[in-house]
Amino acid sequence: EAGVAQSPRYKIIEKRQSVAFWCNPISGHATLYWYQQILGQGPKLLIQFQNNGVVDDSQLPKDRFSAERLKGVDSTLKIQPAKLEDSAVYLCASRKQGRENEQFFGPGTRLTVL
């Protein structure tokens, strides 16, 4: 079974530029999560989808971050404009429906904002 795929793996941009990250979850996983992990900290949830609907985006900085999950499969996370403090690893995770199921993570995208 293929794992969670993310691209790109690394991205370097200047502040005020825009950037987008892509995630392809494990086939059949209805729930998809985007986390932000700042160096030295644990991941922090940004947004959670159930199929193509948002169930929790309470910690998403909506003035600059946006995310979508069209057709309930792939998802994109966008930052526009980026700030220095957005430098982090952005992790995508997915799980089958039902909290008794494991949550699996992708390799992450490391973003550096200069």
Q: Name the DSSP class of 85.
A: G
* Nearest-approach distance from CB 25 to other proteins, in angstroms: 13
Residue with tokens 């404009």: 81
Beta strands 65-68 and 75-79: pairing type?
A: antiparallel
Nearer to other proteins, 57 or 81 (CB): 57
Nearer to other proteins, 80 or 114 (CB): 114
Nearer to other proteins, 40 or 70 (CB): 40
* Nearest-approach distance from CB 32 to other proteins, in angstroms: 11
CA–CA dist 32, 24 (Å, integer): 9
Residue with tokens 């159930």: 50
Q: By C-alpha distance, which of 28, 27, 68, 63 is closest to 49? A: 68
* Nearest-approach distance from CB 14 to other proteins, in angstroms: 21
- Applying CB under 8 A, which residues contact other proteins? 4, 6, 31, 33, 40-45, 48, 50, 55-56, 89, 91, 93, 95, 99-108, 110
